[in-house]
Protein backbone atom coordinates (compact mmCIF):
# COMPACT_ATOMS: atom_id res chain seq x y z
CA UNK A 1 0.00 0.00 0.00
CA UNK A 2 1.44 3.39 -0.98
CA UNK A 3 1.36 5.55 2.14
CA UNK A 4 2.05 8.78 0.24
CA UNK A 5 -1.26 8.60 -1.64
CA UNK A 6 -4.50 10.05 -0.38
CA UNK A 7 -5.96 6.78 0.89
CA UNK A 8 -9.59 5.83 0.89
CA UNK A 9 -9.59 2.67 2.98
CA UNK A 10 -12.74 0.64 3.62
CA UNK A 11 -13.33 -2.46 5.71
CA UNK A 12 -16.07 -4.78 5.68
CA UNK A 13 -27.16 4.84 0.80
CA UNK A 14 -30.55 8.33 -2.38
CA UNK A 15 -28.45 11.17 -3.61
CA UNK A 16 -27.84 12.80 -6.99
CA UNK A 17 -24.21 13.33 -7.93
CA UNK A 18 -25.19 16.38 -10.00
CA UNK A 19 -26.51 18.01 -6.85
CA UNK A 20 -23.01 18.19 -5.38
CA UNK A 21 -21.06 21.40 -5.72
CA UNK A 22 -18.27 21.76 -8.25
CA UNK A 23 -15.79 21.83 -5.38
CA UNK A 24 -16.74 18.31 -4.33
CA UNK A 25 -16.44 17.13 -7.91
CA UNK A 26 -13.04 18.72 -8.38
CA UNK A 27 -11.61 17.37 -5.16
CA UNK A 28 -12.69 13.80 -5.81
CA UNK A 29 -11.96 13.48 -9.50
CA UNK A 30 -8.45 14.96 -9.46
CA UNK A 31 -7.07 12.39 -7.01
CA UNK A 32 -6.02 8.79 -7.50
CA UNK A 33 -8.10 7.00 -4.87
CA UNK A 34 -6.92 3.82 -3.19
CA UNK A 35 -9.53 1.60 -1.57
CA UNK A 36 -8.69 -1.28 0.76
CA UNK A 37 -11.70 -3.32 1.81
CA UNK A 38 -11.93 -5.85 4.59
CA UNK A 39 -14.93 -8.11 4.00
CA UNK A 40 -16.07 -11.69 3.72
CA UNK A 41 -17.61 -12.78 0.43
CA UNK A 42 -21.12 -11.91 1.68
CA UNK A 43 -20.26 -8.23 2.08
CA UNK A 44 -17.82 -8.24 -0.80
CA UNK A 45 -20.17 -9.54 -3.49
CA UNK A 46 -23.45 -8.15 -2.19
CA UNK A 47 -22.30 -4.55 -1.63
CA UNK A 48 -19.03 -3.71 -3.31
CA UNK A 49 -19.51 -4.40 -7.05
CA UNK A 50 -22.32 -1.86 -7.32
CA UNK A 51 -20.37 0.66 -5.26
CA UNK A 52 -17.29 0.25 -7.43
CA UNK A 53 -19.30 0.50 -10.66
CA UNK A 54 -21.01 3.66 -9.42
CA UNK A 55 -17.86 5.41 -8.20
CA UNK A 56 -15.14 4.42 -10.70
CA UNK A 57 -16.55 6.41 -13.69
CA UNK A 58 -16.63 9.56 -11.53
CA UNK A 59 -13.03 9.58 -10.33
CA UNK A 60 -9.77 9.81 -12.22
CA UNK A 61 -8.88 6.27 -11.17
CA UNK A 62 -9.91 3.91 -8.39
CA UNK A 63 -7.92 0.99 -7.00
CA UNK A 64 -9.92 -1.36 -4.79
CA UNK A 65 -8.20 -4.07 -2.74
CA UNK A 66 -10.17 -6.51 -0.60
CA UNK A 67 -8.80 -8.26 2.46
CA UNK A 68 -10.47 -11.19 4.28
CA UNK A 69 -12.58 -10.10 7.21
CA UNK A 70 -11.45 -11.62 10.52
CA UNK A 71 -14.46 -12.30 12.71
CA UNK A 72 -13.91 -11.46 16.35
CA UNK A 73 -11.54 -8.59 15.57
CA UNK A 74 -14.13 -5.79 15.78
CA UNK A 75 -12.25 -3.93 18.53
CA UNK A 76 -9.03 -4.09 16.52
CA UNK A 77 -10.82 -2.74 13.44
CA UNK A 78 -12.36 0.07 15.46
CA UNK A 79 -8.88 1.00 16.63
CA UNK A 80 -7.80 1.08 12.98
CA UNK A 81 -10.64 3.52 12.29
CA UNK A 82 -9.33 5.70 15.08
CA UNK A 83 -5.75 5.51 13.84
CA UNK A 84 -6.68 6.41 10.22
CA UNK A 85 -5.50 3.03 8.92
CA UNK A 86 -9.13 2.39 7.91
CA UNK A 87 -11.57 5.07 6.81
CA UNK A 88 -14.71 2.98 6.39
CA UNK A 89 -15.85 -0.37 7.70
CA UNK A 90 -18.82 -2.69 7.18
CA UNK A 91 -19.91 -4.69 10.23
CA UNK A 92 -22.96 -6.18 11.92
CA UNK A 93 -22.27 -4.13 15.02
CA UNK A 94 -23.20 -0.56 15.86
CA UNK A 95 -20.64 0.38 18.51
CA UNK A 96 -21.69 2.60 21.38
CA UNK A 97 -18.73 4.96 21.20
CA UNK A 98 -18.84 8.73 20.88
CA UNK A 99 -16.10 8.77 18.24
CA UNK A 100 -17.49 6.06 15.89
CA UNK A 101 -20.36 6.97 13.56
CA UNK A 102 -22.72 4.32 12.12
CA UNK A 103 -25.29 4.19 9.32
CA UNK A 104 -27.60 1.26 8.63
CA UNK A 105 -27.02 -0.27 5.19
CA UNK A 106 -29.58 -3.10 5.26
CA UNK A 107 -31.20 -5.80 7.39
CA UNK A 108 -31.10 -9.54 6.81
CA UNK A 109 -32.04 -12.81 8.47
CA UNK A 110 -30.79 -16.39 8.29
CA UNK A 111 -32.94 -18.80 6.26
CA UNK A 112 -32.56 -22.39 5.06
CA UNK A 113 -31.52 -23.00 1.44
CA UNK A 114 -32.13 -26.29 -0.40
CA UNK A 115 -32.20 -27.74 -3.92
CA UNK A 116 -35.88 -28.00 -4.95
CA UNK A 117 -35.02 -30.58 -7.62
CA UNK A 118 -33.76 -32.98 -4.96
CA UNK A 119 -36.02 -32.55 -1.97
CA UNK A 120 -39.07 -30.82 -0.56
CA UNK A 121 -38.66 -27.83 1.70
CA UNK A 122 -38.15 -28.78 5.34
CA UNK A 123 -41.22 -27.75 7.33
CA UNK A 124 -41.31 -29.31 10.78
CA UNK A 125 -38.68 -29.21 13.49
CA UNK A 126 -38.26 -32.93 12.86
CA UNK A 127 -37.43 -32.26 9.20
CA UNK A 128 -34.68 -29.90 10.28
CA UNK A 129 -33.35 -32.35 12.88
CA UNK A 130 -33.02 -35.19 10.37
CA UNK A 131 -31.29 -33.24 7.57
CA UNK A 132 -27.57 -32.82 6.89
CA UNK A 133 -25.99 -29.39 6.58
CA UNK A 134 -23.15 -27.28 5.22
CA UNK A 135 -21.51 -24.92 7.70
CA UNK A 136 -18.91 -22.15 7.70
CA UNK A 137 -15.54 -21.97 9.39
CA UNK A 138 -16.39 -18.69 11.11
CA UNK A 139 -19.74 -19.99 12.37
CA UNK A 140 -19.42 -23.74 12.84
CA UNK A 141 -22.38 -23.85 15.21
CA UNK A 142 -25.71 -22.06 15.29
CA UNK A 143 -25.99 -20.01 18.49
CA UNK A 144 -28.76 -20.61 21.01
CA UNK A 145 -30.45 -17.33 21.89
CA UNK A 146 -32.21 -16.45 25.12
CA UNK A 147 -35.85 -17.47 25.64
CA UNK A 148 -35.45 -20.36 23.18
CA UNK A 149 -37.94 -23.18 23.70
CA UNK A 150 -36.66 -26.65 24.58
CA UNK A 151 -37.70 -28.21 21.25
CA UNK A 152 -35.91 -25.43 19.36
CA UNK A 153 -32.74 -25.97 21.40
CA UNK A 154 -32.90 -29.66 20.51
CA UNK A 155 -33.28 -28.75 16.83
CA UNK A 156 -30.30 -26.35 16.90
CA UNK A 157 -28.17 -29.02 18.60
CA UNK A 158 -29.20 -31.55 15.94
CA UNK A 159 -28.31 -29.11 13.14
CA UNK A 160 -24.89 -28.53 14.67
CA UNK A 161 -24.34 -32.28 15.02
CA UNK A 162 -25.44 -32.95 11.42
CA UNK A 163 -23.11 -30.42 9.77
CA UNK A 164 -21.15 -32.57 7.33
CA UNK A 165 -19.17 -29.97 5.36
CA UNK A 166 -17.40 -26.85 6.67
CA UNK A 167 -16.49 -24.18 4.09
CA UNK A 168 -14.50 -20.96 4.43
CA UNK A 169 -16.99 -18.76 2.55
CA UNK A 170 -20.51 -18.49 1.17
CA UNK A 171 -19.80 -18.53 -2.55
CA UNK A 172 -19.07 -22.25 -2.92
CA UNK A 173 -22.04 -23.47 -0.87
CA UNK A 174 -24.42 -23.79 -3.87
CA UNK A 175 -22.00 -26.10 -5.69
CA UNK A 176 -22.17 -28.48 -2.74
CA UNK A 177 -25.97 -28.24 -2.35
CA UNK A 178 -26.98 -28.61 -6.00
CA UNK A 179 -27.87 -32.20 -6.80
CA UNK A 180 -28.03 -33.22 -3.12
CA UNK A 181 -30.41 -33.09 -0.15
CA UNK A 182 -28.03 -30.95 1.90
CA UNK A 183 -29.26 -27.76 3.57
CA UNK A 184 -27.46 -24.51 4.40
CA UNK A 185 -28.52 -21.86 6.90
CA UNK A 186 -27.23 -18.53 5.64
CA UNK A 187 -28.49 -14.93 5.14
CA UNK A 188 -31.49 -14.63 2.82
CA UNK A 189 -29.78 -12.05 0.57
CA UNK A 190 -27.49 -14.81 -0.69
CA UNK A 191 -30.40 -15.45 -3.08
CA UNK A 192 -29.35 -12.24 -4.89
CA UNK A 193 -25.82 -13.35 -5.72
CA UNK A 194 -24.88 -17.02 -5.42
CA UNK A 195 -28.03 -18.98 -4.65
CA UNK A 196 -30.29 -18.10 -7.59
CA UNK A 197 -30.90 -21.77 -8.50
CA UNK A 198 -31.85 -22.72 -4.93
CA UNK A 199 -34.99 -22.11 -2.89
CA UNK A 200 -35.23 -21.19 0.76
CA UNK A 201 -37.66 -21.40 3.65
CA UNK A 202 -37.89 -19.51 6.90
CA UNK A 203 -36.48 -21.20 9.96
CA UNK A 204 -38.85 -22.43 12.69
CA UNK A 205 -36.32 -21.11 15.20
CA UNK A 206 -35.63 -18.04 17.28
CA UNK A 207 -33.42 -16.35 14.67
CA UNK A 208 -33.06 -12.58 15.06
CA UNK A 209 -32.78 -10.07 12.23
CA UNK A 210 -29.29 -8.60 11.94
CA UNK A 211 -28.26 -5.23 10.53
CA UNK A 212 -25.25 -4.39 8.39
CA UNK A 213 -23.74 -1.01 9.27
CA UNK A 214 -21.26 1.31 7.65
CA UNK A 215 -18.87 2.69 10.29
CA UNK A 216 -16.43 5.59 10.20
CA UNK A 217 -14.62 7.90 12.60
CA UNK A 218 -16.27 11.18 13.54
CA UNK A 219 -13.32 13.14 12.11
CA UNK A 220 -14.80 12.43 8.66
CA UNK A 221 -18.35 13.53 9.50
CA UNK A 222 -18.07 16.73 7.44
CA UNK A 223 -15.16 15.78 5.20
CA UNK A 224 -16.38 16.54 1.61
CA UNK A 225 -14.71 13.57 -0.05
CA UNK A 226 -15.66 11.09 2.63
CA UNK A 227 -19.24 12.38 2.76
CA UNK A 228 -19.56 12.07 -1.00
CA UNK A 229 -18.30 8.50 -0.95
CA UNK A 230 -20.68 7.51 1.88
CA UNK A 231 -23.57 8.91 -0.13
CA UNK A 232 -22.53 6.85 -3.16
CA UNK A 233 -22.52 3.74 -0.99
CA UNK A 234 -26.01 4.53 0.25
CA UNK A 235 -27.21 5.15 -3.29
CA UNK A 236 -25.63 1.92 -4.57
CA UNK A 237 -27.24 -0.15 -1.80
CA UNK A 238 -30.69 1.46 -1.88
CA UNK A 239 -32.19 -1.71 -3.41
CA UNK A 240 -31.17 -3.64 -0.29
CA UNK A 241 -33.38 -1.44 1.88
CA UNK A 242 -36.46 -1.72 -0.34
Domains of the chain as residue ranges with CATH: 10-106+210-241 (3.40.190.10), 110-201 (3.40.190.10)
Greater pLDDT, 23 or 121: 121
Q: State residue 67's pLDDT score.
A: 61
Determine the pLDDT at residue 22. 31
What's the confidence (pLDDT) of residue 76? 74
Say if CB 134 and CB 167 are below 8 A apart.
yes
What's the pLDDT at 4? 29
Pairing of strands 32-39, 61-68: parallel
Strand duo 210-217 + 133-136: pairing: unpaired
Residue 30 Ramachandran class (φ > 0 left, ψ -120 to 50 alpha, else beta): alpha
Q: Name the more confident of 125 and 27.
A: 125
Summarised one tens digit per residue, pLDDT across range 155-171 is 888 888 999 999 988 88
The more confident residue out of 76 and 182 is 182
Contact 88, 214 (CB under 8 A): yes
Model confidence band, residue 31 (pLDDT cutoffs 50, 70, 90): very low
Candidates 101, 21, 90, 96; CA nearest to 51 is 90
Question: What pLDDT shows up at residue 108?
Answer: 93
The predicted pLDDT at position 189 comes to 93
Mean pLDDT of the chain: 78
Rounded Cα distance between 178 and 181, Å, is: 8
Q: Which regions of the chain does DSSP assign to beta strands (E)?
A: 10-11, 32-39, 61-68, 88-91, 100-108, 110-114, 133-136, 163-167, 183-187, 199-201, 210-217
Tell which wins on pLDDT, 139 or 151: 151
So what's the pLDDT on residue 231?
92
pLDDT for 24 equals 30
> What pLDDT does 95 receive?
82
Buried b or exposed e, range 125-154, using 16+ CB within 10 angstroms: bebbbebebbbbeeeeebeeeeebeeebee
Q: Using an 8 Å Cβ cutoff, are 209 and 108 in contact?
A: yes
pTM exceeds cut of 0.75: yes
Q: Is pLDDT of 14 > 80?
A: no
Q: 28-42, 126-140, 141-155, 208-222: lowest mean pLDDT where? A: 28-42
pLDDT given at position 71: 58
Rounded Cα–Cα distance for residues 237 and 87 (Å) = 19
Q: How many residues does the chain have?
A: 242
Non-local (6+) Cβ contacts of 216 within 8 A are 81, 87, 88, 89, 100, 101, 226, 230
| 26: confidence class by pLDDT, cuts 50, 70, 90 | very low
- Of 81-85, 123-127, 194-198, give the lowest mean pLDDT range: 81-85
- Confidence (pLDDT) at 38: 59
Amino acid sequence: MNKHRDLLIITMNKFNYSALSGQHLKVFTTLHEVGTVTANDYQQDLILPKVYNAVSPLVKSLYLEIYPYSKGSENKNLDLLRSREIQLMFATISPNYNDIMATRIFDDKAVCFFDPTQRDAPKSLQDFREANYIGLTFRKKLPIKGQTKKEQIETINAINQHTKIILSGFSSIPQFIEGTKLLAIVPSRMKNIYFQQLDYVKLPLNVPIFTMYMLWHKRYKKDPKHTWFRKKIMQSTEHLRG
